[in-house]
Chains A and B, each alone.
Chain A
Amino acid sequence: MSRSPLVHGLRVARALFTSQYALMLEYRAEIALWALSGVLPLIMLGVWSGSGAGADAGLTPLQLARYFLAAFVVRQFTIVWVIQAFEEDNLQGRLSPYLLQPLPPLWRYLAAHLAEQVTRLPFVVVILALVALVLPGTLSWPSPLSFLLAVVATHLVFLLRFLIQSLITMACFWSERAAALERLQMIPYLFLSGLVAPLETFPEGMRALAFATPFPWMIWFPARLLGGGQVDVAAGFGALLAWIALLLPLTLLLWKAGIRRYSAMGA
């Protein structure tokens, strides 16, 4: 038996991560396609460049291009699919064996996501290299501090998105088709996060509305950190941490309630 909970936790984390990484490498072709399918910000870059629309918001074409490239990178490392994985496990009956092990199943999904991000990394680098070839001068290295802050922010965004999806996933216990709810939240995520347009280009009222939701902090904030530009770092991290602090206990509470319901209704 392991000596301490910390050592035990690290061993479990390592075993989960390595097995999930091995699994993701089995699906490397699929992951390459997923990486390619996440090029919406690059498409938006094409749509916006040359239109001059960014000028009204005080953004130069180069700033816009860098913003969308950064949004692409942030999006690649904040993709969450826990709903689909959980729903499939629930329908296929794989959840039962997971529930009978002394490890909450959410850890398995978290490990799978982290492994998928590591697998995705080389494909993202290749896509960025291609963009650098096609649009020379667009890519630029942020300052080490900005890069570090962007990396931390992206991880927090991933955690926040994971929590939001986990909350919706809990609906699986009440409705077998929680993925429909996920599709519903994709619409505000798409438009209010800054994936389609930087928040600076939004009308004043719309921007205020967007900032009242967690969505702008999920793409716009880390993309501004990574792509360069003025951004309130404290407000961004404060908002991300506040949303995480709100959703973490809620997710754990709903998870317990969901498992109780699952057990009461029949696995």
Chain B
Amino acid sequence: MPIIRAEGLTKTYRVADKQPGLRGTLRHFFARRSREVPAVKDVSFSIEAGEIVGFLGPNGAGKTTTLKMLSGLIHPTAGTVEVAGHVPYRRQGNFLRSISLVMGQKQQLIWDLPPLDSLRVNAAVYGLDDAGAKRRITELAEMLELGDELSRPVRKLSLGERMKAELLAALLHRPSVLFLDEPTLGLDVNAQARVRDFLADINRRTGTTVLLTSHYMGDITALCPRVLLIHQGHLFHDGPLDELTERLAPCREVRLELKDPAPAEAFAAYGAVESCQGHQVRLLIPRDRLTAAVARLLADFAVVDLEVSEPPVEELIGRLFRQGVVA
């Protein structure tokens, strides 16, 4: 039985519609007008307990709105949603004790106090006894490589340390479902890697179901065997990441290092020219023509080095969104 189930999930926001300028301001003051903006349209999916699922999509695609509906922060306009056996927006105590939401841009820790003070409050709110809370904090702090940081005011912590402390606070009560909205936003590469390792570890050890949105494909490729791709409120893909890349771009990236520079037009017959700068050329070539194209390239040009790889996923998705293919 799935731990998360969304059926025809739809959310439409009503937003103020104000024209610029003095006339628009006066009109808005006396007769407010609003319009409806659809954020999520008829989205259906289900997630089994213990899965890590990535939620992909450009800004404004509806990722955060969906997470907010799943966590119970907002009501859906239409459709049904069930998480851990509860209707989220009713926000019943048992439901709230079984989930956690971490938003990369927003914090639950008290800014001017050390994280330990916030953790003490969380432990009491979630009904953990002192010894149990201490054990749990020690266990999570070890996994997150947090030590003295827990005794320093949150405002004095680096972004990465703060996010790790936020994760500790979010997982203190052992939620069965963890929603993460951009957990690595703004973190440096090392901090991103540590957060990813931790999430994989906690999923493996405790079977916590994780649904995460991220702008960083590294998070998705490292953590999520399954991805949901949402665009303009519609669910475009639900399945393995490999399947998505095959579906979006059944091609390979070919990098060439030439002995002598050649113009970009010279490579148009072999595939899509992604870049051509001096000796360096980058092409995208359909998989079914790859062998023949590489053989011809080697025959037609003085190639010093050649590398074939999967194209970066974020680039493919970004390009498809820009081209309006996913519409």
Question: Which residues on A are within 8 Å of B, measured CB to CB?
Answer: 1-2, 8, 11-12, 14-16, 18-19, 22-23, 26-27, 92-94, 96-103, 260, 263-267
Contacts and interface: CB of A to CB of B under 8 A. Distances in A.
Interface of B: 11, 13-14, 65, 68, 71-75, 89, 91, 93, 96-97, 99-101, 103, 105-108, 110, 112-113, 117-118, 120-129
Contacts of A264: 74-75
Contacts of B72: 100, 263
B118 A19 contact: yes
Contacts of A94: 106-108
A266 B13 contact: yes
Contacts of A265: 13-14, 74
A38 to B, nearest CB: 23
A263 B73 contact: yes
B21 to A, nearest CB: 22
A261 to B, nearest CB: 10
A23 B124 contact: no
Most buried by A among B99, B107, B127: B127
Given A2-B129, A23-B113, A100-B73, A93 B105 contact: yes
Contacts of B125: 12, 15, 101-103
Contacts of B110: 19, 23
Contacts of A99: 73, 91
B129 A22 contact: no
Nearest to B112: A26
B167 to A, nearest CB: 13
Contacts of B71: 100
A100 B97 CA distance: 9
B225 to A, nearest CB: 27
A1 B121 contact: no
Contact of A100 (B13, B96, B112, B124): B96
Nearest to B97: A102
A48 to B, nearest CB: 40
A93 B106 contact: yes
Most buried by A among B74, B122, B124: B124
B93 A102 contact: yes
A19 B117 contact: yes
B101 A263 contact: no
A266 B74 contact: yes
Contacts of A26: 112-113
Q: Which 7 A-B pairs have the closest CB atoms?
A: A15-B124, A97-B108, A102-B96, A267-B73, A102-B93, A93-B106, A11-B124
A2 B127 CA distance: 6
Given A1-B128, A102-B96, A96 B73 contact: yes
A19 B125 CA distance: 13
Given A99-B73, A263-B74, A265-B13, A22 B117 contact: yes
B120 A19 contact: yes
Contacts of B108: 94, 97-98
Contacts of B75: 260, 263-264
B129 A1 contact: yes
A235 B111 CA distance: 45
A257 to B, nearest CB: 13
B13 A8 contact: no
B74 A102 contact: no
Given A15-B121, A22-B113, A102-B125, A97 B107 contact: yes
A102 B126 contact: yes
Most buried by A among B73, B91, B117: B73
B149 to A, nearest CB: 17
B100 A100 contact: yes
B120 A15 contact: yes
Contacts of B68: 96, 266-267
A260 B103 CA distance: 21
Contacts of A27: 112
A15 B117 CA distance: 8
Contacts of A98: 108
B113 to A, nearest CB: 6
A249 to B, nearest CB: 20
Given A16-B124, A19-B121, 15 more contacts: A1-B128, A2-B127, A11-B124, A15-B124, A16-B121, A19-B120, A23-B113, A27-B112, A92-B106, A94-B107, A96-B68, A99-B91, A100-B73, A101-B122, A102-B97
B20 to A, nearest CB: 20
B258 to A, nearest CB: 52
Contacts of A23: 110, 112-113, 117
